[in-house]
Amino acid sequence: MNLTTQKRLAADILKVGENRVWIDPERTEEVSRAITRESVKQLINNKAIMAKPQKGISSYRSKKIAAQKKKGRRKGHGSTKGAKGAKNPKKEAWMTTIRALRTDLKDMRNNREINKTTYRKLYKMAKGGAFRSKSYMKTYARDHGLLR
């Protein structure tokens, strides 16, 4: 039994796609006799023709992955996108190190571990990139007898 016309009309009336139109298999005879929009509307009211519920996309997997990422998982080398310095650019790295060095130098000067001349010398060296970390700077100062 061909119900394509009825399905098309019902889809138009229900404002859904033809795939979402459901026709009661026990009332196909009755549906096949309906050829006008009015008769199809009556069948819709009588629940012989109905719209299937809309299918959604499950967000379970995406939520699970988001939760893992929040914990810090899935961040290995295989997941990294972009160039070598994309996640932490050279400038950002430099800024963090130089800020740490300068704060440490100020603390050393304020605690009178070094005098103003030594402070200025180490400051300039830090600016020139002589030290890669605070510990290296302190080791240098200790080895060269710059600490009081």
| pLDDT single digits (tens) 18-45 | 999 999 999 999 999 999 999 999 999 9
User: Cα separations (Å) of 64 from 41, 56, 59, 78, 114?
Assistant: 44, 17, 9, 19, 53
If you count them, how many residues does the chain have? Answer: 148
C-alpha to C-alpha distance for 47 and 49, rounded to whole angstroms: 5
Domains of the chain listed by start with CATH number = 4-51 (1.10.1650.10), 90-143 (1.10.1200.60)
| Distance, C-alpha 98 to centroid of its chain | 31
C-alpha to C-alpha distance for 113 and 142, rounded to whole angstroms: 11
In 3D space, the residue among 71, 73, 137 whose CA is nearest the CA of residue 106 turns out to be 137
Token couple for 64:
């699970």
Token couple for 19:
């795939």
For 17-31, 57-71, 80-94, 128-142, which range has the lowest pLDDT when averaged over its residues?
80-94
Q: What are phi and psi of 79, to 5 degrees?
A: -90, -10
Q: How many CB atoms lie within 10 A of CB 121?
A: 15
Q: Please report the pLDDT score of residue 77 as a whole number.
A: 86
Beta-carbon-side half-sphere exposure of residue 73 (alpha carbons within 13 Å): 6
Token couple for 131:
């030290």
What is the mean predicted confidence (pLDDT) over 42-49?
A: 96
pTM of the prediction?
A: 0.52
